[in-house]
């Protein structure tokens, strides 16, 4: 396979992975809403709150997009903004019991799908796929870092 063919296949694989929908036909939350609730839940488990700007950073979306999602979820009774006791400019995003029920339902559905995939594919192939992906990420980062360092060295030599 030519290098360009690898690149095309890699882009297609990334696109296909992004389009995987574990919640098809049963979702009450979009992928982004699900991820937002997951982030709020992770912080709650640590005994902390989370604000919109941090959610935006973690989700890779704008603060405005987070605000729109939170407003929508507030109207549904899924989340609420709670003012900080120490700084009135800060509002933490908190989950309702309804949010937990929806989140857990979607998790259960996703686990059923992945369980079916593992059952058909086999546990060894699934582990090998994940290991190969992890190895690819490590090698990619290493090669990219090396290329960046070489580029920096080349620019210094040109100066």
Cα separation of 131 and 53, whole Å?
33
69 has a pLDDT exceeding 90: yes
What are the structure tokens assigned to 71, written together?
A: 């407003």
Residues paired with 82 in a beta bridge: 92
Q: Do 98 and 58 meet the contact criterion of CB atoms below 8 Å apart?
A: no
What is the structure's pLDDT at 116? 95
Q: Do 41 and 30 meet the contact criterion of CB atoms below 8 Å apart?
A: no
Judged by DSSP in three states, 28 sits in coil
pLDDT-above-90 percentage for the chain: 67
What is the structure's pLDDT at 31? 86
Cα separation of 146 and 17, whole Å?
27
Rounded mean pLDDT, 105-109: 90
- pLDDT tens digits, one per residue of 117-148: 999 999 999 999 999 999 999 999 999 999 99
64 has a pLDDT exceeding 90: yes
**Residue 56 banded pLDDT, cuts 50, 70, 90:** very high
Give which of 99, 65, 64, 61 is closest to 80, Cα–Cα.
Answer: 99
Question: Can you give the C-alpha Rg of the chain in angstroms?
Answer: 21
Residue-wise burial string across 33-59, b where 16 or more C-beta atoms lie within 10 A, e elsewhere: bbbbbbbbbebbeeeebbbbebbbebb
Rounded mean pLDDT, 15-42: 86
């Amino acid at each position: 396979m030519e290098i360009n063919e690898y690149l095309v296949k890699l882009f297609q694989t990334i696109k296909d992975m992004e389009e995987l929908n574990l919640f098809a036909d049963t979702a009450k939350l979009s992928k982004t809403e699900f991820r937002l609730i997951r982030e709020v839940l992770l912080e709650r488990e640590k005994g902390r709150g989370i604000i919109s700007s941090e959610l935006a950073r973690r989700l890779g979306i704008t603060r405005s997009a987070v605000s729109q999602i939170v407003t929508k979820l507030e109207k549904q009774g899924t989340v609420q903004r709670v003012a900080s006791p120490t700084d009135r400019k800060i509002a933490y995003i908190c989950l309702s019991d309804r949010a937990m029920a929806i989140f857990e339902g979607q998790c259960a559905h996703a686990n059923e799908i992945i369980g079916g995939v593992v059952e058909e594919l086999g546990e060894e192939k699934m582990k090998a796929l994940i290991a190969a992906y992890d190895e690819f990420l490590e090698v990619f980062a290493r090669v990219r870092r090396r290329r960046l360092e070489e580029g920096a060295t080349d620019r210094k030599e040109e100066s």
